[in-house]
Amino acid sequence: MNAAAGSENRLTAAFLGVALVALFGGVVTGLFQSLEHAGVNVYPSTPLVKSYYHSLTLHGVLNVLVWTTFFICGFVPFIATRALRTPLASLGLAWGTFWLMATGLVMAAIPLLGNAATVMFTFYPPLKAHWAFYVGLTLVVVGTWLVNQWREIGLKVSQETQESSPYFKDLRAGNFEVSTDFQCGYVVDPDLDLYKFQSQHLSDANYGRYSDPVLDDLYRLQSRTVDPEQRRRIIRAFEKRLLDEEAHYIYTLQWHRIVPHSSRVRGWTITPSHYLNSQLDTVWLSE
């Protein structure tokens, strides 16, 4: 790894580190609000959060503004530079973006934590916060404008949002340069989850229209392997080639299945796939 790549990695870690800390703070303050609605007043015992509305403001700023903004500024250049195999045009400007945003965050955090900006993360009357709150969050937003320099790597795109029918028509016809795509199998098994990523002549669902005989060999090998650990290693090699070495796809979102339900529900086992265990004749409610 060269010095520039190491600095890019540290830049990504810095952005994502701030983002994850903000996410954690937003989750904690969200829990405080849930307890408030349940009739439990936790604020007298918390040294930093003074009231429900103080908690609500912290929750909104951390989750809606800080978490999302810092995550995007760290994630997008990390993915783009690796997919295109091109370094950032200006590491100095990128680090300057981070420190400008971090400075603004600290300026906004001081009145926020001091309960001098309890305005439900709004910027308009009639609620009024300490001046540092507005200046600080303005710096965070201005910092994101500097992300425009990442276009220097050569990306000049025009995004088109379509209805489902023309979207799938263009996707299947290949009428695009870059498109979003989705994958969800009805059985949790690598043969079904990975089949679409084979070469075009083997998979009609390969909308990337690439040919990769190495991927094809790995797919056949994992499908015929009976040893679970060996199959796992082959699948990891398949994923590395698909998403890293060749970057046929850029991985974005992963759906984690979360099903809240009453503690009275009995006889039901939640599975990773919503296609499985939908038979409910064994489900019952306790007294």
Other CB atoms within 10 Å distance of the CB of residue 224: 9
Is pTM beyond 0.75? Reply is no
Over the chain, what is the mean pLDDT? 80
pLDDT confidence band for 150 (50 / 70 / 90)? very low
Residue-level pLDDT at 217: 96
Check whether 9 has a pLDDT greater than 70: yes
pLDDT digits (tens, 9 = 90+) for 235-267: 999 999 998 898 888 776 566 666 777 888 888
Query: What value does the CA radius of gyration of the chain take, rounded to a whole number of Å?
Result: 24
What is the Cα–Cα distance from 34 to 50, expressed in whole angstroms?
A: 15
Angle CA(251)–CA(255)–CA(261) in degrees, nearest 5? Answer: 170
Amino acid letter for position 146? L
Q: Quick one: tokens of 210? A: 């690439």
Q: Say if residue 41's pLDDT is above 80.
A: yes
What stretches of 91-249 show up as alpha helix (H) in DSSP? 91-113, 131-145, 164-173, 190-194, 213-224, 228-240
Domain ranges of the chain: 3-153
CA angle 261, 267, 271 (to 5 degrees): 65
Is the separation of the CB atoms in 151 and 77 below 8 Å? no
- Categorize the per-residue pLDDT at 218 as very low, low, confident or very high, splitting at 50, 70 and 90: very high
